[in-house]
Amino acid sequence: MFASELGLGWVFDQAFYRIMQTTFYKYQGTGNDFVMIDDRSESFDVQDLALVTKLCDRKFGVGADGLILIRNHPDFDFEMIYFNADGSQSMCGNGARCAVAFSGFLGIIQVKTSFLAVDGPHEAILKDGIVELLMINVPGIEAKGDDCFVNTGTQHHVRLVEDIQNYPVFSEGKKMRYHEMYAPGGTNVNFMEPISEDEIFVRTYERGVEDETLSCGTGVTAAAIVFAQDKTDAEVKIKTLGGNLSVRFHKNEDGSMDNVWLIGPATQVFKGEIEI
């Protein structure tokens, strides 16, 4: 209802309307796209999952694979709060790279940053539109039949396949995403094919989007770790449907990984106003 309907007049209508407006930005990292909101005022209601799903809806909202809030934190440059398109929360590698680029745009950070995400603290370097993101340490690779499972801040099943361009990512991904061994939370599902001795192609079915996305940062990190598991210091190039990324890591004697870096572009696409 407008204020004028309450007899308060046009001036109050304008004030009331402005209060409802929030600026958002759209970012993409190798085609994984996000609604990005500077929420340092903490005015976004994080309990309002219907609003998150509405904003991410590609027909009725802005349209995105996820929504990210940037908030202040006493011990870090900023905190990233990430929601999948269905309102669930997790770590997001491409989202974190976009959050770093957005924080640079907002003037919160310059080149180096340390910020907090749901899986813990991260460091990153922002230079010429490329974000190098330090991921959490990875405890190791678990065998899952012929496939593998790796936690790179969130859950990832990884399968080696042939002819990846024609692989049924949606149907096979959906099967593993809901497989009983991952119940009740489920998992993201990645399919990878080696291109050369240091390059792979990766396609991902993403939990929370419930579809294949053009790229998944934590997913390609998991795939790179499986691919180069025999190396002590690895550098893997990755092609996705949405562009190119790279991952480097150090493998310890106990099978764990540290110094895990995800590297690639993060780009602002447009800016708009929404009523929330």
Ligand X SMILES: N[C@@H](CCC[C@H](N)C(=O)O)C(=O)O
Catalytic residues, by residue number, are 92, 216
d(CA 40, CA 132): 24
Establish whether 84 is an annotated binding residue.
Answer: yes
Q: Binding of ligand X at residue 92 (CB under 6 A)?
A: yes
- Residues 217-256 interacting with ligand X (rule: CB under 6 A): 217-219
Establish whether 154 is an annotated binding residue.
Answer: no
Do the Cβ atoms of 113 and 103 come closer than 8 Å? Answer: yes
Look at residues 155, 167, 251 and name the one whose alpha carbon lies nearest to residue 201. 167
Question: Which residue number, 28 or 155, has a Cβ lying nearer to ligand X?
Answer: 155
Residue with tokens 């085609």: 31
Establish whether 72 is an annotated binding residue.
Answer: no
Question: Which residue number, 3 or 46, has a Cβ lying nearer to ligand X?
Answer: 46
Class of residue 15 by CB neighbours under 10 A (exposed 0-12, middle 13-18, buried 19+): exposed
d(CA 220, CA 208): 17
Establish whether 188 is an annotated binding residue.
Answer: yes
Q: Is the peptide bond before 265 cis (omega within 30 degrees of 0)?
A: no
Binding region for ligand X (CB under 6 A) out of 67-75, 92-100, 130-138, 250-258: 92-100
Q: Binding of ligand X at residue 93 (CB under 6 A)?
A: yes
Question: Which residue number, 72 or 116, has a Cβ lying nearer to ligand X?
Answer: 116
Establish whether 94 is an annotated binding residue.
Answer: yes
Establish whether 18 is an annotated binding residue.
Answer: no
Site string for ligand X, 126-155 (x = CB under 6 A): ----------------------------xx
Class of residue 94 by CB neighbours under 10 A (exposed 0-12, middle 13-18, buried 19+): buried
Name which position in 53, 94, 113, 240 contacts ligand X (CB under 6 A).
Answer: 94
DSSP state at residue 178 = T
Question: Which residue number, 216 or 247, has a Cβ lying nearer to ligand X?
Answer: 216
Do the Cβ atoms of 69 and 37 come closer than 8 Å? Answer: yes
Q: Binding of ligand X at residue 206 (CB under 6 A)?
A: yes
The footprint of ligand X on this chain (CB under 6 A) covers a number of residues equal to 18
Q: Binding of ligand X at residue 188 (CB under 6 A)?
A: yes
Binding region for ligand X (CB under 6 A) out of 35-43, 52-60, 113-121, 205-213: 205-213
d(CA 176, CA 57): 24
Give 30-68 as a DSSP string.
TTEEEEEEE-TT--S-TT-HHHHHHHH-TTTSS--SEEE
Q: Binding of ligand X at residue 207 (CB under 6 A)?
A: yes
Region class of 110: left (phi > 0), else alpha (psi between -120 and 50), else beta: alpha
d(CA 98, CA 115): 13
Name which position in 28, 32, 113, 151 contacts ligand X (CB under 6 A).
Answer: 32
Residues annotated within a binding site for substrate = 32, 84, 93-94, 188, 206-207, 217-218
Residues annotated within a binding site = 32, 84, 93-94, 188, 206-207, 217-218
Q: Which residues bind ligand X (CB under 6 A)?
A: 32, 84, 90, 92-95, 154-155, 188, 206-208, 213, 216-219
